[in-house]
Structure 1
């Protein structure tokens, strides 16, 4: 966990004064490059950590961290992830098919 934390802190909490393009990053990642800042008010560290966790979840940094992990994934976890991805793909295809039929009906109705 320490190696991951060091890698994340090096990439997330790097100084904002350096330009995003000078590091080979595209401008859409400037928000992530600047990092997340949370103020600790009245010495309440627990609340600040909870707020930081919420901000990380909403900004997508948590997903990026999980993608970077290079640990072994069990076969059962792989199967679960593959099934979820397949269900998501099928659901989106069904939705696209439904929308297409609705649009065709509207165009023909005119």
Structure 2
């Protein structure tokens, strides 16, 4: 929660710098996503939790975490590598199955 509030605070204090850095990152133009949350009855904690949920569902939290430059433990690297490998293998298997189905359709079998 503190991480998100710091990021939001930086967005509020210097929005033009953040927008420019997001838009110019890796020389690719990315769409700027805005999230608005109303603070009702002065309840800031509830508004922050609602904002966190909206950020998670929109994918903005992933973009912020991807920009972090901190040390990643070797165990975390192994887990991420294994997940990426499993995802790649699943994708290749699916592509192989689809290709086999298409070949059968084309041949009329």
Which TM-score applies when normalising by structure 1?
Answer: 0.70
Shift of residue 67 of structure 1? 1.0
- Tell me if the contact between 1:8 and 1:65 (Cα under 8 Å) persists in the aligned partners: no
Match of 2:56 in 1: 57
Return the alpha-carbon distance in structure 2 between the equivalents of residues 78 and 63 of structure 1. 17
List alignment gaps of at least 5 residues for structure 2: none
RMSD, aligned CA:
3.1
Structure-2 separation of matches of 1:77 and 1:58: 23
Alignment partner, residue 101 of structure 1? 100
Tell me, in whole angstroms, the C-alpha distance in 1 between the residues paired with 2:55 and 2:91: 27
1:29 aligned residue: 31
Instruction: Give the structure 2 partner of residue 47 of structure 1.
Output: 46
Count, aligned residues: 99
Residue segments in structure 1 that go unaligned for 5+ positions in a row:
none
Change (3 A) 1:106 1:9: farther
| Kept after mapping to 2: 8 A contact 1:38/1:48 | yes
Query: What TM-score do you get using the length of structure 2 for normalisation?
Result: 0.71
Contact kept? 1:56, 1:62, Cα under 8 Å:
yes
Q: Does 1:83 align with 2:85?
A: no
1:6 Cα shift? 4.9
Change in Cα spacing, 1:99 to 1:88, as seen in structure 2 (3 Å) is: same
Structure 1 range deviating more: 46-55 or 96-105: 46-55
Aligned to 1:14: 15
